[in-house]
Amino acid sequence: MQRCHWCNLANPLYISYHDQEWGVPNLQDDYLFEMLILESFQAGLSWETVLNKRAAFRQAYDQFDVAKVAQYGEGKIQELLTNEKIIRHQAKIRASIQNAQVFQSIQVAYGSFYTYLCQFTQGKRRVELGRTTSPLSAAISKDLKQKACPLLVLQLSTPISKPAELSILMREVVFSIGLKSNYTRF
């Protein structure tokens, strides 16, 4: 199999992700929630770093059960902050809980997170190559931000200066539901 240039061939986790997940549509809300959370932890780091900690994140985050994550309180936050196997960034951890709450509210309003995303695409698959952001990812990011989903804002004291930073996360979410954005799958 020919692989993308960014796939580290020395890392079996990265190879598995590339070969079995990258560019493969997954419309399940549990998977979309996992990607949303993992992508928000990637901010400032490489995707490979997050993949290497994915199993630990699954364990620490109750298998990415959105209902459980949405209910995390200070005790769980402190537990996550002391877990050396995950990325221990307080703002990212707090944002993940708020993201879970927004994700749940979207599920209630639209029936599923995937259905919510489809309102932006009318269910059509999109291919956008050679770009790091797109009007589609920007629109989804803007809407989620209006719903109080911190995504990559991470509840920082200063606002994000470039809307593209929010769009990067949603590009990945949009890609995971089968809407190619910025990447070619071989």
Does 1 score more than 90 pLDDT? no
**Which stretches does DSSP call E strand in 57-133?**
127-128
Cα(186)–Cα(35) distance, integer angstroms: 21
Catalytic choice (34, 39, 128, 172): 39
Does 182 score more than 50 pLDDT? no
Active site residue 39: yes
Query: Which of these ranges, 23-27, 147-151, 173-177, has the smallest mean pLDDT?
Result: 173-177
Distances (CA, A) of 37 to 2, 33, 126, 128: 29, 6, 23, 23
Note the pLDDT of residue 151.
54
- 127, β-bridge pairs: 180
Instruction: Residue count of the chain, please give it.
Output: 186
Active site residue 17: yes
Does residue 33 contact residue 166 with C-beta atoms inside 8 Å? no
Active site residue 47: yes
Catalytic choice (31, 47, 110, 183): 47
Q: What is the pLDDT of residues 88-113, one digit of tens each?
A: 999 999 999 999 999 999 999 999 99
DSSP string, 25-69: ----HHHHHHHHHHHHHHTTS-HHHHHHTHHHHHHHTGGG-HHHH
